Chains A and B, each alone.
Chain A
Amino acid sequence: MGFLHRHRGLTPYLLLAPGLVYLTFFFAVPLGFLVHQSLESGNFDIGYSFTWAWGNYSAAIRGYGAQFARSFEYAGIATVLALLFSYPLAYWIAFRGGRWRNLFLLFIVAPFFVTYLIRTLAWETILADQGPVVRILRDVGILGSGGRLLATSVAVVAGLTYNFLPFMALPLYVSLEQMDGRLIEAAQDLYASRWRAFLRVTLPLSLPGVVAGTLLTFIPAAGDFINAQLLGSPGQHMIGNVIQSKFLELIDYPAAASMSFVLMATILLAVALYARAVGTEKLTG
């Protein structure tokens, strides 16, 4: 430790080194490989070689624009649904949960304790054409007599919403729970109605939770392929399904790599824009 004493400035770098070197090798470098692969051309039989094939990108966007659009559409809807569903629930737990708040919180986390694939398969059972949900929806006339949920976008969005819900509910809860109850009481005194008090005070204060929850839900949902695979049909395939099948079935690495990269870049861009929009208006205030 004498060495460290003499070179105190070095200590943080020494602490960082192992982890950062690891992440460099197994996170950053692979992304480099991915970009490199995305610029290759050829096919499985003759092999692939690096040719600066920028055409892969335009081909990816042209050929699979629908799947890209669908991914963001489904992820967006699922995120909004998760927000609308979770907010009242998180609010209830934070302000009405009392002593048992942690127990109620457990209900929100509970889905996480059932393996992701298993809980998605359970939805496949619940939403089956001959299952109870479809039967009820048919009886009340929401679905036609031949209507179904499985292999439709409804089922895929429902699956996405459920699977990533805890990512939304937990940050919301955390931001609500931290709120000073006296502040809300004061607001209720100040504003005529509870509703306005909520809009003017509670909601803005919980905005960090909304932002975090939105990102944590949107990002995994946009890249998902499990829900579309198990609950959807080719008409609902998202970009994750295409990437997965190009990589693992068709062995078309350059196309798959360029799509992965486009997906990642779009998400990072969307996140940056979103953070900016929300950040300038509310977060700094």
Chain B
Amino acid sequence: MTDVYTRRQLLERAAAGGAVLTLPGFLAACGGTSSKSGSSSHKLAKTLNFSNWTLYIDVNNKTKRHPSLDQFQKQFGVRVNYTEDINDNATYFGKIQGPLSRGQSIDRDIIVMTDNSRYPSLLIKKGWVEKLDKSAIPNIKNLQPALQHPGWDPNRDYSLPWQSGLTGIAYNDKLTEPILTVPDLLENPKLKGKITLLQGIGDTMPLIMRANGDDPTKVTDASWSRAIKVVEKAVHSGQVRQFTGNDYAPLLAKGDLKACFAWSGDVVQLQADNSHLHWNLPKDGGGIWTDNMLIPNGGNVYTASVYMNYVYEPKVAAEIEDYVNYICPVVGAKQVLLKKDPAIAKNTLIFPTKQMLDNADNIDANALNNEKYITQWQNLITS
């Protein structure tokens, strides 16, 4: 067992090195998290556990704190334990489905999931999310009319939009001519290995289908296989470098990508780093989606509802919007921003025109739940 002999020496040495690692540990102060059970009482909890996507709420650039959350605490005495632990819908759902299926709490009062994935509707269907306490959300009247009656939650009993966004094509004008159509993106030889697509079916497929002349809101086997073939070809030719979630952002900003499928708000944020970036809806049409706040079972319904009401005040919504730069679901936020930050209010990526909205689709929910499609897609993007 000579290898054991050397292994232990290795470990000994490593241990000698590890010795000093403890110091920073003890320097750090103690923090703690409180857990509580779900209740429908009209009493505010001490903390609100809120899981959201990264870079999806206002940040003070210097202190890195979230002003809107600090204000909420001041106003209601509820500390928001804000966790940016959602990176893509599938992974997050995978993480929470275990406990939820067993009727256990996941220590969250609000989570945010996208309606172009199957998960918001799945959560409702499985009975894993609580009904909102609408009596605590009078501001629900400020919800954009277009978002009031989604098919999977017709009366907004379980969900409220956090932000919406458009899916389109971003490109870097330093590295390429403008890329305005899907075929150009997928076939232009100058872009080989320098483009990415999005890993969600509901993100990528509407754009592909529109380019094929198909209707993404009514997916058929034929239109699906046409779309899959297009993507397959682009993958096998080496045109597509990766399928990404949020992670196309660093690649695009650094110049590793010349163009990619991208979300509108991300690009607005990225333009601060790199003014060479542009974003457009493809001529044939793009995608639109909405991220929804949901209260998982065991979450504190009242406190969560009070918070939702708070962010549906136009002033607060405007404050968040000013940083997040996606599409604000709250009517009235634009008016506030027109005074405060007119550049943002006039940015059509943030307050899109009707024409843009008409040219963007959310994908057919049936397609998202089709096991055959899911398997095909998954095999394609992980091959």
Interface residues of A (CB under 8 A from B): 43-44, 63, 66, 105-106, 109, 112-113, 124, 128-131, 146, 148, 150-151, 167, 170-171, 174-175, 208-209, 211-212, 215-216, 233-235, 237, 241-242, 245, 247-251, 275, 283
* Extra pairs beyond A174-B10, A211-B3, A233-B241 (19, CB < 8 Å): A109-B13, A109-B14, A113-B17, A124-B250, A128-B255, A128-B256, A151-B241, A170-B13, A171-B7, A171-B10, A174-B9, A211-B2, A212-B2, A237-B382, A241-B382, A242-B382, A250-B94, A251-B97, A275-B3
A249 and B91 in contact (CB under 8 A), knowing A170-B14, A215-B3?
yes
**B29 close to chain A: CB less than 8 A:** no
The interface size bin for chain B is 35 or more
A151 and B242 in contact (CB under 8 A), knowing A130-B256, A171-B7, A248-B95?
yes
- Cα A275 to Cα B10 with chains together (Å): 19
**B22 close to chain A: CB less than 8 A:** no
Q: How far is the CB of A234 from chain B (nearest CB, A)?
A: 5
Closest chain A residue to B97 by CB distance? A251
Query: Counting chain A CB atoms within 10 Å of each CB, which of B2, B250, B371 scores highest?
Result: B2
Neighbour of A245 across the interface among B9, B192, B193, B382, CB < 8 A = B382
B256 touches A148 (CB 8 A): yes
Give the residues in chain A near B7, CB-CB below 8 Å.
171, 212, 216
Return the CB mask of B1-21 against A: 1 if under 8 Å, else 0: 011011101100110010001
Give the residues in chain A near B382, CB-CB below 8 Å.
234, 237, 241-242, 245
A170 touches B254 (CB 8 A): no
Main secondary structure of the interface of A (DSSP, over half): helix
Give the residues in chain B near A235, CB-CB below 8 Å.
383
Closest chain A residue to B254 by CB distance? A128
Closest chain A residue to B190 by CB distance? A146
B91 touches A43 (CB 8 A): no
Give the residues in chain B near A237, CB-CB below 8 Å.
382-383
- Cα A209 to Cα B91 with chains together (Å): 40
Give the residues in chain B near A105, CB-CB below 8 Å.
13
B193 touches A151 (CB 8 A): yes
B13 touches A234 (CB 8 A): no
B14 touches A112 (CB 8 A): yes
Give the residues in chain B near A148, CB-CB below 8 Å.
193, 256
Query: Counting chain A CB atoms within 10 Å of each CB, which of B13, B97, B243, B250 scores highest?
Result: B13
Scan residues 335-379 of chain B and give those whose CB is less than 8 A from a CB of chain A: 371, 378-379
Neighbour of A130 across the interface among B2, B94, B255, CB < 8 A = B255
Q: How far is the CB of A95 from chain B (nearest CB, A)?
A: 17
**B55 close to chain A: CB less than 8 A:** no
Give the residues in chain A near B90, CB-CB below 8 Å.
249-250
A106 touches B17 (CB 8 A): yes
Q: How far is the CB of A26 from chain B (nearest CB, A)?
A: 18
A150 and B17 in contact (CB under 8 A), knowing A234-B382, A251-B97?
no
Q: How far is the CB of B72 from chain A (nearest CB, A)?
A: 32
Q: How far is the CB of A232 from chain B (nearest CB, A)?
A: 8
**B381 close to chain A: CB less than 8 A:** yes
Return the CB mask of B236-263 against A: 1 if under 8 Å, else 0: 0000011100000011001110000000
Closest chain A residue to B242 by CB distance? A233
Interface residues of B (CB under 8 A from A): 2-3, 5-7, 9-10, 13-14, 17, 21, 88, 90-91, 94-95, 97, 192-194, 235, 241-243, 250-251, 254-256, 371, 378-379, 381-383
Q: How far is the CB of B85 from chain A (nearest CB, A)?
A: 13
Give the residues in chain A near B3, CB-CB below 8 Å.
171, 208, 211-212, 215, 275
Neighbour of B5 across the interface among A208, A234, A247, CB < 8 A = A208
Give the residues in chain B near A44, CB-CB below 8 Å.
97
A130 touches B254 (CB 8 A): yes
- Cα A251 to Cα B242 with chains together (Å): 22
B97 touches A248 (CB 8 A): no
Give the residues in chain A near B371, CB-CB below 8 Å.
43
Closest chain B residue to A150 by CB distance? B256
Closest chain B residue to A233 by CB distance? B242
Neighbour of B94 across the interface among A66, A211, A212, A249, CB < 8 A = A249
- Cα A57 to Cα B103 with chains together (Å): 32
Closest chain A residue to B98 by CB distance? A251
A251 touches B256 (CB 8 A): no
Neighbour of A146 across the interface among B10, B13, B193, CB < 8 A = B193
- Cα A239 to Cα B80 with chains together (Å): 39
Closest chain A residue to B3 by CB distance? A212
Give the 4 A-B residue pairs with the shortest CB-CB distance, closest first.
A208-B2, A130-B255, A249-B90, A212-B3
- Cα A234 to Cα B247 with chains together (Å): 14
Q: How far is the CB of B186 from chain A (nearest CB, A)?
A: 16
Give the residues in chain B near A129, CB-CB below 8 Å.
194, 254-256
A234 touches B381 (CB 8 A): yes
Q: How far is the CB of B16 from chain A (nearest CB, A)?
A: 9
Q: How far is the CB of B18 from chain A (nearest CB, A)?
A: 9
Q: How far is the CB of B168 from chain A (nearest CB, A)?
A: 22
Give the residues in chain A near B194, CB-CB below 8 Å.
129, 146
A234 and B242 in contact (CB under 8 A), knowing A130-B255, A150-B256?
yes
7 contacts across the A-B interface (CB closer than 8 A): A113-B17, A128-B254, A130-B256, A212-B3, A250-B94, A251-B94, A275-B3
Q: How far is the CB of B348 from chain A (nearest CB, A)?
A: 29
Give the residues in chain B near A234, CB-CB below 8 Å.
235, 242-243, 381-383
Give the residues in chain B near A171, CB-CB below 8 Å.
3, 6-7, 9-10
Q: How far is the CB of A251 from chain B (nearest CB, A)?
A: 5
